[in-house]
Amino acid sequence: MNKLDVDVAIIGTGTAGMTAYRAAKAQGASVVLIESGPYGTTCARVGCMPSKLLIAAAEAAHVMQSSAPFGVHAGEVRIDGRAVMDRVKRERDRFVGFVVEGVDATPDTDKLRGHARFTGPRTLVVDDHTEVCAGRIVIATGSTPTRLPQLENVGPGIVTSDDVFYWDELPRSVAVIGTGVIGLELGQALSRLGVRTRLIARGGSIAQITDPEVLRAASRVLNEELDIQFQTEVVGAVQDGDEVALTVRDALGKESTERFQFVLMAAGRRPNVHDIGLEHTGLERGPDGIPHFDTRTMQCGNSHIFIAGDANNERPLLHDAADHGKIAGDNAGRYPDVRPGLRRAAISVAFTEPNIATLGANYRSLCAGGKRKFAIGMVSFANQGRSRVMLQNKGMLRVYGEYGTRQFLGAEMIGPRAEHLAHTLSWAVQLCMTVDQMLEMPFYHPVIEEGVRTALRDLASNLTKGEGETDAADTEPGT
């Protein structure tokens, strides 16, 4: 067994790991990066980028198929599935290439290939070839799709999002299990590309929405276009030739079986903390197996171990993985002088159409304290001028503000171009702006942001009316 002594060992070369590496090196530490899988990051290989490439193709198809109300007739739209997947993979490989170039540029002495496992608080064994003794360790192991036990060992027709971006052509039919962000994005894209698609959800939740009013609006809007079966359990599946016979049970207990070419498991992702020997670290862990850590420093307890990116499951998103990695790497490099790093206002977008977006404090977290100390403003996009001009007048925005201070707290929405609205609003959260200050900002005409202004005016008025005037039902979505 080879032996290696370093200041900092980083497990994983995804976004969090690579950012941690650069930050630890900047502190002058000797660092080793350990990777068991392919280089190139989840985001570039099988995550953010290829999913958006597939969605872009789906949007192109949708625009052509839905132009008739404008008096524009595209004729018969032909979707060449092989060409669609070719572009997805070609562009994906380009993005991956840039990441791999970055890995290649790091010295070979700073890289180890193999699966890392703790054998003690400061020791890792990489496969069976190297023992690494490290002063500090950053866990940046990412996450993997959750696998449903009912769908284990069925056959090649059961796939995850990791497989989709290696398809050579579009399938005939897909059942998507899960209405989280990934399930909805891929389900809608496949459906718009002409794939017979059914989404199946155990409960009633949609993407990251926690506000019951926005949830109702989202359910209505998405059901107009997509075949979604809520409150439905997967019972089991059988591979039959090149199809899967999928059996589900609906809310009334009725079982039905239908055949699909693929069943896509998109029922969430699980942090990769379960087979890395955390039991040898002495760290306290939560019921999910994740060590307790400080979200400002990424430090696990008072230890020399840091955890970043999807592995800590705080906000399993790309920009947060990068922020986590920078903070963890910086602190691992400067340890024991551990410092809080920059944390930004939360923002999360599902690239469905309409987009779904949340930012700042969400409805559920605001309600968690018991008696609500916040007011709500809202706008429906149904009659919003510019949205109607573009025939994208669907959805709802709800904004939250604090009584007394009148500070803007956050928002949830489904609506046209919500990815952009969410950015503007998240900047206001981070700047701790009041609702009145936000209303002093410029609003052009005619733009979708005028809808945001309507919601903020409503919020300002409700804040003035006083505590207890909120109109939302206190029901929890997802049940």
Ligand X SMILES: Cc1cc2nc3c(=O)[nH]c(=O)nc-3n(C[C@H](O)[C@H](O)[C@H](O)COP(=O)(O)OP(=O)(O)OC[C@H]3O[C@@H](n4cnc5c(N)ncnc54)[C@H](O)[C@@H]3O)c2cc1C
Binding site for ligand X (CB under 6 A): 11-17, 34-37, 41-43, 46-48, 51, 115-116, 140-142, 161, 182, 272, 276, 309-311, 316-319, 321
**The two three-digit tokens of residue 5, written as one number:** 């002594």
In angstroms, give the least distance from the CB of 219 to ligand X.
22
Residue 367 phi, psi dihedral angles, 5° rounding: -80, -15
In angstroms, give the least distance from the CB of 362 to ligand X.
16
**The two three-digit tokens of residue 102, written as one number:** 């970055």
Nearer to ligand X, 222 or 459 (CB): 222
Nearer to ligand X, 11 or 218 (CB): 11
With a CB cutoff of 8 Å and minimum separation 6, the contacts of 220 are none
Nearer to ligand X, 411 or 435 (CB): 411
In angstroms, give the least distance from the CB of 76 to ligand X.
31
In angstroms, give the least distance from the CB of 143 to ligand X.
6
**How many Cα atoms within 13 Å fall on the side-chain side of residue 111?**
16
Nearer to ligand X, 139 or 248 (CB): 139
Nearer to ligand X, 247 or 430 (CB): 430
Nearer to ligand X, 16 or 267 (CB): 16
With a CB cutoff of 8 Å and minimum separation 6, the contacts of 175 are 197, 198, 199, 200, 244, 246, 258, 260, 262, 263, 264
Q: Is the dihedral of CA 131, 133, 138, 139 positive or negative?
A: positive
In angstroms, give the least distance from the CB of 6 to ligand X.
15
Nearer to ligand X, 276 or 452 (CB): 276
In angstroms, give the least distance from the CB of 426 to ligand X.
13
- How far is it, in rounded angstroms, from Cα 130 to Cα 325? 24
Exposed, middle or buried by CB within 10 Å (0-12, 13-18, 19+), for 466?
Answer: exposed
The number of residues making up the chain comes to: 479
In angstroms, give the least distance from the CB of 145 to ligand X.
7
Structural contact between residues 190 and 57, judged by C-beta atoms closer than 8 angstroms = no
Residue at shortest CB range from ligand X: 14
Nearer to ligand X, 243 or 323 (CB): 323
Structural contact between residues 305 and 139, judged by C-beta atoms closer than 8 angstroms = yes
In angstroms, give the least distance from the CB of 46 to ligand X.
6
- How far is it, in rounded angstroms, from Cα 297 to Cα 447? 40
Q: In what order do the strands lie in the sheet with 408-415?
A: 347-350, 355-360, 408-415, 396-402, 374-380
CA 27 remoteness from chain centre:
31
In angstroms, give the least distance from the CB of 246 to ligand X.
21
Exposed, middle or buried by CB within 10 Å (0-12, 13-18, 19+), for 401?
Answer: buried
Nearer to ligand X, 35 or 412 (CB): 35
Q: Could you give the 3-state DSSP secondary structure of residue 112?
A: strand
Helix (H) or strand (E) holding 35: strand 31-35
